[in-house]
Chain A
Amino acid sequence: MRGVKKLANDMIASPYFSFGVTVLLFAVLYGTGVAMYKGFLRPQVFFNLFIDNAALIIVTVGITFTLIIVGIDLSVGAVLALSCMVLAWLLANTAVPVWAAVAVVLLMGIVIGAAQGYIITKFDLQPFIITLAGMFFCRGMTAVISRDTIQITNETFTAIASYRIPIGDLGFVSVGAVLALIVLAIAAVVLGFTKFGRAVFAIGGSESSAALMGLPVFRTKVIVYTISGFCSALGGVAYALIMLTGYNLHGLGMEMDAIASSVIGGTLLTGGVAFIPGALFGVLIQGVILTFISFQGTLSAWWTKIVVGALLCVFIVMQALITEQKARLSKKSSMGEPPEKAKPGLAG
């Protein structure tokens, strides 16, 4: 009896508990889909999750970096839209090759992110406000470039967009999906195995402690926002590969989807805790719900939002409970130790 309880406690205290719940939820949703609709079983349905959500995955990775340091980046959707627009405009109105246009867009994302990060860190301002300003700025700039949709007709670009990368005989994925997976892998390695990544977590745990421990807090924070800017721009490229347009209202509200995905994937809004594979599953869960709705045929796509809203509530409450449980456990373990150590002190 006690053994079971201890196991349960250990599980809840484990850093992967939240991730496990997310994966389980995804599996349950997917399983239900398979049980209800025959078509769900096709591997391509699974691959489509990555194809359709490539941009969201990339953006979620970026925003997760900012969430770890108890920051936020509300400009991601707007930067994504601006990136699509600049890309479309460059391809439509100039003769620059595709790689150069993409490079320009990515550089732009880096500059926007770095600028926001610098302002936030240097003047110790609220990231919420600064990136909100960044969001308005980028949306505005997008409209300034063009109020109308710009079609992307560049042959190279459309070829890349429709290029299918086969996965055995099972199906295929798009270039965007592969980009998303690469970004995920790099982010996971950077966060888990580099000095920079660990400094990000330390800052999330306690910024003042991180500074006192001699970590480069300023630089790290600026780079975090730069990464978010870069990911938004790259997400824009992935988005353009699907939409083949530049449009002022692209990615509207995407920052919220990204935050939701990240949180469902186990990121704590109190900072210092996140798990990149979790963020992926956060996106995939939203994707599955959308797939459901398209299979079902009559429900409105807004049901996705409703379900995601409900899930968010559930997950936030779960996180709070985990944190509380952990606090209780830690109290016990600290008290459990001293007697063994203390005994020899005076008695001996």
Chain B
Amino acid sequence: MEQPVLLEMRHIDKVFPGVRALSNVDFTLRAGEIHSLMGENGAGKSTLVKVLTGVYQRDGGTISLLGKRISPKTPKEAQEAGISTVYQEVNLCKNLTVAENIFIGREPRKHGFIDWATINKRAAELLDSLGVHIDVTKTLDHYSVAVQQMIAIARAIDIEAKILILDEPTSSLDEQETQQLFRIIRMLQKQGLGIIFISHFLEQIYELCDHITVLRNGELVGAYEVEKLPRLELIAKMVGKDLNAVKHMDDFAEKSVPQEEVFLEADHIGEVGQLADVALKLHKGEVVGFAGLLGSGRTETAEILFGAHQPTKGQLKVKGKPVQFGSPMGAMRERIAFCPEDRKTAGIIGDLSVRENIILAMQAKDGMFHHIPYSKQVEIADKYIDLLKIKVSDRDQLIKNLSGGNQQKAIIARWLATKPELLILDEPTRGIDVGTKTEIQKMAIELAKKQGMAVVFISSEMDEMTRTCSKLMVMRDRRKVAELTGDEVNSENVMRAIAGGASS
């Protein structure tokens, strides 16, 4: 039994200065369908969504909703037509309370005035149903990106809608939050909503979706049923190569073998209320993974190593001599670089060009008044644009006009450009397409092997950790619970350590 067609987009064109973001794209969504849009970073997924929701005006094509032609000029019109959206970039206001962020624009009113009591009550109930238990009367800037993402989702699912669009909603959520979200999505599906779900996590696509539309370079590759499209074929379609080429994409070079010399040693460091106890040696040429659940202290450890926090106990040593960073600048002088997890909100400076964003950390390290010649800047920028396959129309393009994934690549490039001896990558592959994901993993290994760099790799995806790292530090409850090296590095051991079982 075919469900009725909800949405039909035909021959959609969208041109930005210098790029053809969409050309002649068709997209069909039926009621009760969870439909994924797939494609590499910069393929045009978000653009298609934004054309549909009136953020951008299309340059050609037609959109019909339940058989009726629509042309939303603003997100407001789209929302009124029954399209509710969580955009890839966080679209909430930090100065407003959590509750207000959920209800703004559709506030319940009493005697014509906003009924704050009801808003707060309903917001709390709604978030409870999503498994988020927080004080909804606090302003949004009190909460982490993951919580903000849940709030954005709560807002979108509470809006009366026929179509729900989620553009990379899970990129900052943990496993449990993701499952919670999936439950709700399935519930909405049963109510007959059409759902568009975008993600670079293939497992999630295969777990949740029933249809996939693949885009490549702004063009439609095709629309498929999930059962009839095995993973490898999907990847092949996304990257535009044939099946055999893709098959070997995951073949990994040997892991890097650590050198004798220790670059950085953390001698039982801790910080009151943040981190209990971590003892760790980072050798040159070693890729070390920090494993553990969200909130287990991985990020906190990394932040201490980068001088963003000061340890209240223990001692850090760089190449054997005790150091006290005092600030990230101090760590940067010791040639430590940190690519933060929270790239969605922190990191990019939208109104600067890609080139300027890439050389930013280098510039900061050298001092603001040290001039880096333009030709040198161009050379560096081009090198990393090429290395990380950052999709730009030109290196002087404003970074805010890049696709979300490509912005993240530029941030990684920024830290690579400082030529560090220790590179800390916190969730470097979140929001990055499958092809580039493996490239980044390979790159981490290469850097360790060829340049003797020490690399810290933090990720919630177990297989990427076990594939990349020569050593794994497992954390639980803000302390180190196990260290796995060599053959011990496998997901089973990690799981056991996290769950509290005995391990070496």
Contact = CB atoms under 8 A, between A and B. Distances in A.
Interface of A: 15, 189, 192-195, 198-199, 201-202, 204-206, 208-216, 271-273, 326-327, 329-330, 332-339, 341-347
B259 to A, nearest CB: 34
Contact of A333 (B90, B93, B116, B143): B143
Given A330-B141, A334-B147, A345 B175 contact: yes
A69 to B, nearest CB: 12
Contacts of A336: 273
A330 B143 contact: yes
Nearest to B53: A212
Given A15-B139, A198-B114, A339-B477, A214 B274 contact: no
Interface string B80-91: 100001010011
Contacts, number: 130
A335 B274 contact: yes
A192 B96 CA distance: 12
B362 interface: no
B143 A205 contact: no
A339 B93 contact: no
A75 to B, nearest CB: 26
Contacts of B294: 338, 342
A339 B294 CA distance: 7
B75 A212 contact: yes
A309 to B, nearest CB: 27
Given A341-B176, A342-B293, A212 B147 contact: no
A273 B93 CA distance: 11
B422 to A, nearest CB: 23
A187 to B, nearest CB: 14
Given A214-B79, A330-B142, A338-B294, A195 B114 contact: yes
Interface string B106-142: 0101000110100000000000000101100001011
B320 interface: no
Interface in B44-96: 55, 74-76, 78-80, 85, 87, 90-96
Given A194-B113, A201-B93, A330-B142, A335 B300 contact: yes
A338 B175 CA distance: 12
Given A205-B95, A215-B104, A346-B498, A337 B113 contact: no
Given A198-B114, A334-B147, A346 B495 contact: yes
5 closest Cβ contacts across the A-B interface?
A: A338-B295, A205-B93, A334-B144, A272-B95, A214-B79
A335 B302 CA distance: 14
B495 A333 contact: no
B76 A333 contact: no
Contact of A342 (B75, B79, B296): B296
A198 B495 contact: no
A271 B93 CA distance: 11
A164 B295 CA distance: 65
A244 B420 CA distance: 72
B296 A202 contact: no
A202 B293 contact: no
Interface of B: 55, 74-76, 78-80, 85, 87, 90-96, 100, 104-105, 107, 109, 113-114, 116, 131, 133-134, 139, 141-144, 146-147, 155, 174-177, 273-274, 293-296, 300, 477-478, 495, 498-500
Given A206-B92, A208-B91, A341-B177, 16 more contacts: A193-B116, A198-B100, A201-B95, A201-B96, A204-B95, A209-B91, A332-B273, A333-B143, A335-B274, A337-B143, A338-B293, A338-B295, A339-B295, A341-B131, A344-B176, A345-B174
A337 B144 contact: yes
Contacts of A15: 139
Contacts of A341: 131, 133, 176-177, 295
Contacts of A329: 142
A193 B113 contact: yes
B174 A342 contact: yes
A333 B96 contact: no
B266 to A, nearest CB: 19
Contact of A337 (B78, B274, B295): B295
Nearest to B80: A214
Contact of A339 (B113, B478, B498, B500): B478
Tell me which of B90, B139, B274 has the highest count of chain A C-beta atoms within 10 A of its own C-beta.
B139
A119 B104 CA distance: 26
Nearest to A341: B176
Nearest to A68: B95
Nearest to B179: A345
A346 B499 contact: yes
Nearest to B498: A346
Contact of A202 (B55, B90, B96): B96
Contacts of B109: 195
5 contacts: A192-B114, A214-B105, A329-B142, A339-B477, A342-B174
Contact of B95 (A199, A213, A273): A273
Nearest to A268: B95
B140 to A, nearest CB: 8
Given A195-B105, A339-B478, A212 B87 contact: yes
Contacts of B80: 214
Contact of B176 (A189, A271, A345): A345
A102 B478 CA distance: 68
A199 B93 contact: no
A189 B114 CA distance: 10
B91 A347 contact: no
A332 B500 CA distance: 26
B108 to A, nearest CB: 11
Contacts of B74: 211, 214, 216
B93 A206 contact: yes
Contact of B76 (A205, A216, A330, A342): A216
Nearest to A343: B293
B176 A342 contact: yes
